[in-house]
Amino acid sequence: MFDKLTVRDADVRGKRVLVRVDFNVPLSEGSVADDTRVRAALPTLRYLVDHGARVIIVSHLGRPKGEPDPQYSLRPVRRVLARLLGRNVHFVDSVIGPDVTEAVERMVDGELVMLENVRFEPGEKANDPKFAKQLASLAEIYVNDAFGAAHRAHASTTGVADYLPAYAGMLLAREVETLTDMLANPDRPFVAILGGSKVSDKFGVIDRLLDVVDTLVIGGGMCFTLLVAKGLEVGRSLVEDEWVEPAKKMLEKASQVGVELMLPVDFVVADAIVEDAETKVVGRGEIPADMMGLDIGPTSVELFKGVISSAKTVFWNGPMGVFEMTPFEKGTREVAGAVARNNRAVSVVGGGDSVSALRKFDLEERITFVSTGGGASMKLLEGSELPGLEALTDRT
């Protein structure tokens, strides 16, 4: 059970509600290239509007350096949000200051105002108490629905909760409930698939998953550090040398707890990461010294698909190769397809590149739950506290 108060527990009618959302979306030529995160916030925003709240929307976008930068303006996101909500969303070119105060004072029940990128203010990432208090002064209630930023201790994710009654939004609550329930009470067999480039990014997650899964499948660039730990040569493939010894302990733990840890048995290799690369398939101990593994091979694909098809719970985070390029996309496409086709299983996909892959291969609608938070979901799964979650009011 989710142990924080949610927006449904608050009396929001006629109240000014500061809502932290995660509208950190990709932009292309000044337009939103993917509106997934905007759509994810709609249930909370619609609930507030329907219940007569005066909604003040706060988000970050990209990584500006604590000052205004037009390329990171939230204006294009405002247009998408207004279209999806079917109502006007007033935009203010500032985060704090007289123009923001004036816009908020003019609000009526059911109205929405979006502030400019909160990271244009240096006090945001510094979690400066003065800035947090200024931001909080705009509202009477605070709602955090930005799961994708919940692992950041910033002014808009934690600081404002020191000055306002703080509640979870619907998206944040659902994300936390889904991921924690998956670990606590999965239908079995439980198969987790991890990929991506670096084993160091997911070492804590691997350690936690080994305590609960039946099978752990590891592909992508991160698998090569484990193969080196097993004593294999991997050519020029990505290896984190300082993580070889921890990887040995990881392999030992899997054996001790009886979890099958599956690594690729073959690879698609090339001498360069380019769209027109000349590729060949080799066994995992046969990667030439001047080449690198850039996707899992066809035998690995079939092995991975087989274990995925028998699962009752599937968690997937991270591609199997450089799926953005045609020569190296098949492993990720086939694994994603196998997850989508297993209708008997609860399928959960962590954010980041995995979601991009689902979208590329038009599989997103066939997954039980797609997380919006890459880094946040990994932190939650490894058992770390999320500052943005901890700052909210406990359910007593």
- Residue tagged active-site, from 62, 110, 337, 375: 375
Catalytic residue at 352?
yes
Q: What element of type H or E holds 303?
A: helix 298-309
- Residue tagged active-site, from 352, 373, 374, 388: 352
Measured CA to CA, the distance from residue 253 to residue 26 in angstroms comes to 39
> Between the CA of residue 132 and those of 5, 91, 101, 118, 128, what are the distances in Å?
21, 20, 15, 11, 6
Measured CA to CA, the distance from residue 375 to residue 385 in angstroms comes to 12
Residue at 66: amino acid letter: G
Catalytic residue at 375?
yes
Measured CA to CA, the distance from residue 45 to residue 53 in angstroms comes to 9
- Residue tagged active-site, from 4, 16, 20, 37: 37
Angle 170-184/374-381 helices, nearest 10 degrees? Answer: 40
> Between the CA of residue 289 and those of 239, 285, 328, what are the distances in Å?
13, 11, 19
State the Cα angle at 241 between 240 and 243, rounded to 5°: 70
- Residue tagged active-site, from 198, 253, 312, 360: 198
Catalytic residue at 258?
no
Measured CA to CA, the distance from residue 198 to residue 225 in angstroms comes to 8
- Within 10 angstroms of residue 63's Cβ, the number of other Cβ atoms is 11
Q: What element of type H or E holds 40?
A: helix 36-40
- Within 10 angstroms of residue 99's Cβ, the number of other Cβ atoms is 11
In what order do the strands lie in the sheet containing 166-168?
Answer: 90-92, 112-115, 54-58, 16-20, 141-144, 166-168
Whether 293 contacts 327, CB under 8 Å? no
DSSP letter string, 251-274: HHHHHHHT-EEE--SEEEEESS--
Catalytic residue at 221?
no
Q: SS3 of 320, please?
A: coil
Q: Which residues are catalytic?
A: 37, 198, 352, 375
